[in-house]
Amino acid sequence: MVNAETIGTLYAGHQWQWQPGRMKQGYELCLRVFGEAGLEPNRIVAKAPHVAEKYRDFMAIRPTLERSDFDQVKYFTIVHLAQGGFTPGYEWGLYWSMICDRELMLGAVPCFSANASAIVSCAFRTWAEMCQVRYGYCFHQQMKFGPVYHCLGVILHVQRDSRHDDLTMNTSWWSGNAVGASPYLHGLLRDVYPESYLSQPYLDARLGRSRTTLKEWIEADPARRGSLKPYTDILTKWTPPVEKIPQIREELFRAGRVYFWQFFCPPGANEQPGPFFRPELSTPWEAPEPIPDIYRADYWKDKDPSLTY
């Protein structure tokens, strides 16, 4: 991978409002973003009429896609592939993906364009407002870990992968559960990121067995827990102090507010439920000891808290 160690910045928006015309609006905004960033789109994969579901040259596919009924387009991903790269999943410099009624992802590798990250940030906010996104986040990750796949819930084989098994399992189970209703309805955070975009159900979610909401908890100690600012009519932007993210993650996991794959993993027919299995996410819950390693602040002491692993 030509830029495996490079840090990618990715915005992910979930729970966006679907209606006719959205895919075409997203496509037009996508091309505008590529133009403003000065990075020409060169690869595309799409599920659309008369378009094969494999990465192809963008300019070759563009006329067919633009003649399509965009309301019949189930998804498209358009990328500027890094020079010398051949794997769009890893080696993009600018990335735009839309999955009908599911997710929007926008990513930039800052070294490819000095202003790409700012342009992507602005475009994400435009789209979040237009489509009434109800949950989103921005994070930074080494390209070898596949930032895009983190959002989609796809496990990658990474040589010399030092990540804890629970981190990869979280990714895999997010794919199967986040698309459904349970985590969203009960305000579970995917993780604690440098930027999160939260609608009211997330802000009103109560911590553990207390009556304290996430919003109240953050506002009670802004020096340690960060700030909340309006982002769209629906979303509030939460920016915790990056160096405090490991401690925040531990506190919120203990209070049942951070996603864990074992919440959704029922026992086998002849097994007792595991200590973290939560058949009813709406029930007040506090984590039993010992909590998993990845939620202990000291697990992250030798790692960069600004990165998602």
Domain identity same for 172 and 128: no
**67 Cβ contact partners less than 8 Å away, ≥ 6 residues apart:** none
pLDDT at 253 over 80: yes
What is the number of residues in the chain? Answer: 309
Tell me whether residue 184 is in a domain.
yes
Q: Over pLDDT 90: what percentage of the chain?
A: 74
213 with 123, same domain: the answer is: no
Query: Do residue 40 and residue 76 come from a single domain?
Result: yes
| Percent of the chain whose pLDDT exceeds 70 | 95
Residue 153 within a domain: no
CATH of residue 99: 3.60.90
Give the full edge-to-edge strand order of the sheet including 227-230.
56-57, 43-47, 75-81, 92-99, 103-108, 7-14, 135-142, 195-198, 236-239, 227-230
Q: What is the pLDDT of residue 273?
A: 82
* CA proximity to 150, closest of 140, 165, 135, 161: 140
The mean pLDDT value of the chain amounts to 92
Question: What is the rounded average pLDDT of the residues 74-87?
Answer: 90
Q: Under DSSP, is residue 98 helix (H, G, I), strand (E, B) or coil?
A: strand
Is 33 inside any structural domain?
yes
Q: What is the mean pLDDT of residues 168-177?
A: 81
Q: For 124-166, how does the pLDDT look when each residue is reduced to its tens digit (9 = 90+)?
A: 999 999 999 999 999 999 999 999 999 988 888 787 788 999 9
pTM of this structure:
0.94
Residues 182, 291 within the same domain:
yes
Look at the chain and report how many structural domains it folds into: 2
Could you tell me the residue range of the domain that residue 117 belongs to? 7-142
